[in-house]
Structures are given as C-alpha cells and as structure tokens.
C-alpha cells in the first residue's frame, strides 16, 4: 500500500504559504544543506534576511517580488509517512495554477494571516477546495507572532472563516494558530500559545488518510489508443473504476456495441483481472470497430449516456466566453465539440454573490451552473459517484479554459 499523502497549501497572497512550506521542510530536515546555503546566498545578494519562502519560490521573479507565480511540488517525510506538498499561488491572476495544484491533492491547508483575517482569495480558494471535494482540511491562522499570540484575535479570525466555510458546507478538521516564521505549532506545540490544546500542523496532517480507489464500483475503461502488435489488435487504456476480467462481457459506449474480453495484457504478462488505476491492453474475441474515446463498461450498471447535462464550471481563462460559442469538451479520453447552452446561475467565486446583470457570458474566476450540450452522445457519471467520469475540462483555441463538475439530477 502506498504510504504518502499529497496536500496543497492555499490562501490569500502573502499570508505565508511558501514560508509555511519552507518551515515544514526545514523542521523535518528535508532540505539538503546545499539548498539552504544557496538560499542564504540569494538572500544576501538581494540584501534581504533569510526567507523560508525562498526554499519554494525558485523563479527569479518570485524571489524578487516575494510572490509565488506557479505551483510547486516538493517532498518531505515524517515518522509516519511521506508527503508531497503542493504550493499554490495566492494571486488572483494565478488562479489556474492554484487549481492545477489543488486538483492533485488529497488534503488541504488553508492559511490565513492573523492580522489581515479572511481576504478575497481566502474565500475563493475555499470555494475551489469545496468544488474539488477536498474534505480533509486544516485551517491555519498564521503570523500569530504579529498579534502577540492573542487568543482573542485567533477567535475572531476563526469565527470569520467558519462563517464562510459554513456557507460552502465545508467543515475543517482542525483550526490551528501558528507562526510559520517562528516555528510555533508547525512541527510541535509551543509555550507561546499555551491556550491552544489542539495538535500542531504535522500531527494534524499525520491524522489524514490517503485517497484509496473505492472498490465495488462498476467497470469504466476509457479507450486511450489501439495498437497493432504482431498482427494483433490491442486496446489500451486505464481502468478508471471497477475491475476488468478475462472472458468478461463488455459494452462500448456511447454506441452500445457488445464484445467479450479475450485477454488482458501488460508487458510480457497476461492478467486474469486488472484493477482500478492499472494501464492495460485488452484483446477481444471478435473484431469490432473500436476507437479512442469509447467507454468500456460492464453490462450491468451502465454509465449515463447523454448529449445534454448540468454542471458547475469554474472559468480559468482571461478570455471570457459567451453562450452558444463553440467549445471542446474533454472527459477522460472523450473529446467532443460542445456548447454552453444556458447559464442557470453565475457567481463571484470569492463573495459567493450571484451576478444578476449578465446571463450570457462567463468571465475569469467566475463560477457558473450551466447547461452543456455536446455534438454527440457521451458517457458520464455523477462526480460524487465516479469522479473520473464526473469531471471534465473545456478547451478553446487549444487551451484549457475551464474545469467542471457534473451533477446528475
């Protein structure tokens, strides 16, 4: 079994994400001395005091301007397990990088500056976490040193964020007062915050569970490609859910053609069964037409086949988009021309206020409940049932412009 956890650190710009990561790496002795020396050198040459944040912010511009531009992934370990930390930028204009980072995570830390309290990106990032279904959540109230470690200020900020998270139906597992700069309550408890009885950040992280692929879901195997190897047609793809078995009856969606699995192949190996997450090749007992984008399913529990569905999308592109303009829908290996036919509800992803004066256009950082229509039928699922087939991206001019979550009624 794997023994590591991927988590993302999100929050408003300058609330201390990179500093917290630098501190985590430092406290867990996960950084080579040569890297610390490199950062010391850089800080000196820029005439600045040693910054933990520089251990993460590698781009020249990031160090000069003290901001994180792009998401970074790094590794550290505790006695319990290994971690991958994903650092997400806090600027509004880098939201797509924040989402790129968060989409990979199994848990999240939402960081808030004790002095500034909840800000625009704090709220927006919380919304993205909720959309991505990241329910293992730690809120850290950082820079406690700047408010003299006062419990009163901690309570104020705590109430402020809980009010917002409550609207999103997000329940944080922990709310921890810390100072990443001073090292309070990061790897261990601190005398300076004796009024707080909860765990330090590392202990809280250690209590989280890695995401495990659920068993007992129906088979979904999107066709990725078809190879002709030594005169044999091999259909390759990844088992996104369930199991695929030798001799199993299968159906190709959306067209509904049936066949039977002859063999399951890996390199120099034949399998009787392939589980979720495995990339395998299969051969069939008969020679039917197969193409990329078809979804192989078991005969019971079929996927939802439709060309019209409702979903919540978040817009990441600087270019805004009008309804009925052509767009490309991509979900696993399905790729198809589509249109947003109607915007049911348009929202500011930070304030959560409904935008009422515009019903035909979606803009950067906005979230919308929309009706999507595809040119041909596709196979989809409810996001909460089989996430792999319940999430998609929209592409325009060969760029990913939005992500979406499907809710079947």
Per-residue mark of binding to other proteins, 355-384 (x: CB under 8 A): ------------------------------
Residue from 99, 8, 71 nearest 367 by CA: 99
Contact region for other proteins (CB under 8 A) — 198-206, 344-352, 356-364, 399-407?
399-407
Contact region for other proteins (CB under 8 A) — 10-18, 51-59, 196-204, 298-306?
51-59
Pinpoint the alpha helices (H) of 277-324: none
Distance CA 159, CA 301 (A): 44
Q: Which of 134, 147, 332, 367 binds other proteins (CB under 8 A)?
A: 332
Distance CA 323, CA 306 (A): 20
Instruction: Quote the tokens at residue 185.
Output: 């309550």
Distance CA 297, CA 238 (A): 12
Q: Is 41 helix (H, G, I), strand (E, B) or coil?
A: helix
* Binding flag, residue 69, other proteins (CB under 8 A): yes
* Binding flag, residue 271, other proteins (CB under 8 A): no
Instruction: Quote the tokens at residue 274.
Output: 């392939």
Inter-residue contact 147 to 153 (CB < 8 Å): yes
Q: Which is nearer to other proteins, 166 or 225 (CB)?
A: 225
* Binding flag, residue 40, other proteins (CB under 8 A): no
Residue from 113, 86, 90 nearest 100 by CA: 86
* Binding flag, residue 79, other proteins (CB under 8 A): no
Site for other proteins in 234-253 (CB under 8 A): 234, 236, 238
Q: Which is nearer to other proteins, 101 or 172 (CB)?
A: 101
Q: CA distances (Å), 63 to each of 86, 320, 361, in order? A: 18, 31, 37
Distance CA 32, CA 179 (A): 23
* Binding flag, residue 152, other proteins (CB under 8 A): no
Site for other proteins in 189-208 (CB under 8 A): none
State the minimum distance, in angstroms, from the CB of residue 226 to other proteins. 9
Distance CA 341, CA 360 (A): 9
* Binding flag, residue 56, other proteins (CB under 8 A): yes
Q: Please give the size of the binding site for other proteins, defined by CB under 8 A.
A: 65
Distance CA 78, CA 4 (A): 10
* Binding flag, residue 167, other proteins (CB under 8 A): no
Distance CA 274, CA 322 (A): 43
- Residue 300's Cβ-count burial label (10 Å; 0-12, 13-18, 19+) is exposed
Site for other proteins in 287-306 (CB under 8 A): 292
* Binding flag, residue 97, other proteins (CB under 8 A): yes
* Binding flag, residue 29, other proteins (CB under 8 A): yes
Residues that bind other proteins (CB under 8 A): 1-4, 29, 31-35, 38, 41-42, 45, 55-56, 58-61, 69-75, 84, 96-97, 99-100, 103-104, 213, 224-225, 227, 229-230, 234, 236, 238, 265-268, 275, 277-279, 281, 292, 316, 330, 332, 388, 391-393, 397-400, 403
């Amino acid at each position: 079994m794997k023994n590591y956890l991927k988590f993302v650190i999100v929050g408003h710009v300058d609330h201390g994400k990179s500093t917290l990561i630098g501190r985590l790496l430092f406290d867990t002795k996960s950084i080579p001395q040569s890297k610390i020396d490199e950062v010391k050198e850089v800080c000196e040459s820029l005439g600045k005091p040693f910054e933990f944040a520089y251990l993460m912010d590698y781009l020249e511009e990031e160090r000069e301007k003290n901001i994180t531009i792009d998401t970074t992934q790094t590794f550290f370990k505790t006695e319990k397990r290994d971690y991958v930390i994903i650092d997400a930028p806090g600027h509004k204009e880098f939201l797509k990088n924040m989402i790129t980072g968060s989409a990979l995570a199994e848990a999240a830390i939402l960081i808030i500056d004790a002095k500034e309290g909840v800000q625009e990106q704090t709220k927006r990032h919380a919304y993205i976490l909720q959309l991505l279904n990241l329910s293992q959540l730690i809120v850290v109230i950082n820079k406690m040193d700047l408010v003299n470690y006062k419990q009163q200020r901690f309570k104020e900020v705590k109430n402020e964020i809980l009010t917002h998270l409550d609207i999103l139906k997000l329940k944080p597992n922990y709310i921890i007062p810390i100072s990443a700069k001073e090292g309070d309550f990061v790897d261990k408890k601190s005398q300076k915050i004796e009024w707080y009885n909860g765990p330090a950040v590392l202990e809280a992280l250690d209590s989280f569970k890695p995401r495990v692929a659920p068993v007992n879901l129906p088979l979904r195997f999107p066709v990725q490609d078809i190879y002709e190897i030594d005169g044999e047609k091999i259909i390759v793809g990844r088992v996104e859910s369930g199991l695929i078995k030798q001799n199993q009856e299968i159906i190709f969606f959306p067209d509904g053609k049936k066949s039977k699995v002859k063999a399951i192949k890996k390199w120099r190996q034949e399998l009787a069964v392939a589980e979720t997450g495995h990339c395998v090749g299969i051969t069939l007992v008969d020679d039917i037409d197969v193409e990329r984008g078809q979804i192989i399913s078991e005969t019971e529990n079929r996927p939802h086949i439709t060309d019209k569905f409702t979903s919540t999308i978040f817009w990441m592109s600087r270019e805004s988009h009008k309804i009925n303009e052509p767009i490309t829908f991509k979900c696993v290996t399905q790729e198809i021309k589509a249109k947003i036919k109607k915007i049911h509800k348009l929202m500011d992803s930070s304030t959560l206020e409904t935008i009422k004066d515009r019903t035909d256009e979606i803009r950067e950082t906005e979230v919308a409940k929309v009706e999507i229509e595809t040119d041909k039928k596709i196979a989809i699922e409810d996001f909460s049932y089989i996430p792999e087939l319940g999430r998609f991206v929209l592409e325009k001019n060969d760029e990913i412009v939005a992500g979406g979550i499907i809710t079947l009624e």
